[in-house]
Structure 1
Amino acid sequence: MAEVGFARFSAREVAKRIGYSVGTLYNVFGTLDRLLITINTRTFQLWAEYVRQRLETSGADRIQTLVEAYFGFARDNANSWTAIYDHHLPPDVVIPDEQNLQRGALTQIIVDEVAAVLPTQAQSEAPRLARSLIAVVHGHCVFDLNGSFALMNISQPMELALDRVWEALIHAGAAAPSR
C-alpha cells in the first residue's frame, strides 16, 4: 500500500511478496475488505506513534504540533494515508471492535490535547470539538496533497489550518497561544 497506493493495491501482489497464495490471505482475512481494514488500522497505529513522538519534543503550542504532525504524516506517507480515506466499506462490513479501539487512539490523543487548552467548563466539549477540528485540518491537508491549494496560489496550507483551529479553540474559550 505504501509503495503503490490504494488504486494499484493488489492482494495478489501482497501474497506474492510474502510468499503466500492469495487463497491463504483470504483464509486469514476472509475478504479483501478485511485485509484492507487491517492494513489501514496499522497505518492509524503508525500515525498515532508519529504524533506521540512529535508531542514528546513539542514546544509550548502542542496544538501546532498536532497540526504539523497531521500534515507531516500525510506528506511522508501519502499512499498509506490516502488509502485510509479511499477504502469505502460496504454497508454489511463492520470494523472489528479491537481495530476500532486501535484506530481511536489517534483521535484520543487529539481530544486530550484539545481538552488541555480549554477552560474547565468547556472541557466536556473537547471530543466533539476535536473531531470537528480534525475535519478542518484534514480538508486543508487533502487540498495540499492534491494540489488544489497550489492552484489557488495558497502557499501555506498548514498555517491556514492552524489558524482555523486556533480560531475555533479561542471561540470555545482557550487562551490564544503566544507566538
Structure 2
Amino acid sequence: MARRNQHSREELQALAIEAVRELVTEQGLEKLSVRKVAQRIGYTPGMLYHVFSNLDDLILQANARTLDELLGTMTYAADQPPRQALLAMAGAYLALARQHTALWKMVFMHRMNQQAPVPDWYLQRTRQLFARVEQQVARLGGDHDETQIHLAARTLWSSVHGMGVLAVEDKLTVAGEVDEQAMLASLFHHYLQSWAGEKTA
C-alpha cells in the first residue's frame, strides 16, 4: 500500500469503502465505526471526515458499491427474453443474499442517523434497479399502464426479497425441504403468465 500522503482523495475513498465492506463482513454492521475504518486503512478518523460527511455517508457509499455490482449483473441479464431475464435477475439477487449476506443485509438494515433524509444520489441507485425490472415486465406485453408496471415490479421484488430473508436465516426449510430455485421458477411462471394474459378493465 502506498504511503498515506500518496493517496489521492479518490483512492482514499476507495480504500475506506473497501474497508467498510470487509469490516461489516467480519464483524457486522452494528460494530462498524469511523475509527475502525480509519484504523483498517492506516488513517486518522479526522482524515476520513475530509472525504465523507459522516458514518452514514460512508455506509451509503459502500452500499452503492454493492448496488452497482447487482445492477451490472441485472444489466447483463437484460439481453435475454423478458421471462428469462427476470428470473436471472431474481437469481442474482438471491445469490447476493447467499454469498455476501453481510453486505446484502447492510443495504436494508442501515437507518440514517436521527432520521436524516436519504440523499437523492443514493435513491437514484435504487430507482435504476427497479427500472431494470420494470423494463422487463413491460416487455411481456398486455394492456398495462405505468402504475401497474410499477406495482408489478415491486410485488416481484418483495417476493424475491422475502425468499432471500428466509434463505439467509435458514428458514426456508421450516415447512420441509424446498428448492429455492424451484420456488423462484414457480413464482415467476404463475405471476408472469397471469400478468401477460391479463387485460385492464
TM-score (norm 2): 0.75
Gaps of 5+ in 2: 1-20
Give 2:166's aligned amino acid: F
Q: Does 1:108 align with 2:137?
A: no
Shift of 1:59: 9.2
The alignment status of 1:67 with 2:90, answered yes or no, reads yes
Identity of aligned residues (%): 22
Give the 3 Å change call, closer, same or farther, for CA 42–174 of structure 1 in structure 2: farther
Determine if the alignment matches structure 1 residue 137 to structure 2 residue 160: yes
In 2: Cα distance, 1:163 partner to 1:116 partner: 20
Q: Deviations over 1:9-32 (max 9, x none)?
A: 332222122232112223432221
| Matched letter for residue 192 of structure 2 | L
Distance 1:22 1:174 in 2: 57
Q: CA deviation at 1:111?
A: 1.1
**Aligned-residue RMSD, C-alpha:** 2.4
Matched, 1:32 2:55: yes
Q: Which amino acid aligns with 1:122?
A: H
Q: Note if contact 2:63-2:103 (Cα within 8 Å) is conserved in structure 1.
A: yes
Residue 38 (structure 1) shift: 1.6
Q: Report the alpha carbon displacement of residue 44 of structure 1 after superposing the two structures with TM.
A: 0.8
Unmatched 5+ stretches in structure 1: none
CA displacement 1:33-66 (0-9 Å, x = unmatched): 2211221122111111122234457797222212
Q: Which residue of 2 aligns with 1:122?
A: 144
Kindly indicate whether residue 73 of structure 2 is the aligned counterpart of residue 50 of structure 1. yes
1:91, CA displacement in angstroms? 5.6
1:10 aligned residue: 33
- Alpha-carbon distance between aligned partners in 2 of 1:67 and 1:48, rounded to the nearest angstrom: 12
Q: Distance in 1 between matches of 2:144 and 2:81?
A: 24
> In 1, Cα distance between the equivalents of 2:60 and 2:151?
25
Count matched residues.
174
1:83 to 106, 116, 122: 106
Which is greater in Rg? 2
TM-aligned CA distance change 1:22 to 1:65, over 3 Å:
same
- Please give the TM-score of this superposition, normalised by the length of structure 1: 0.83
3-state SS of 2:138 partner: helix
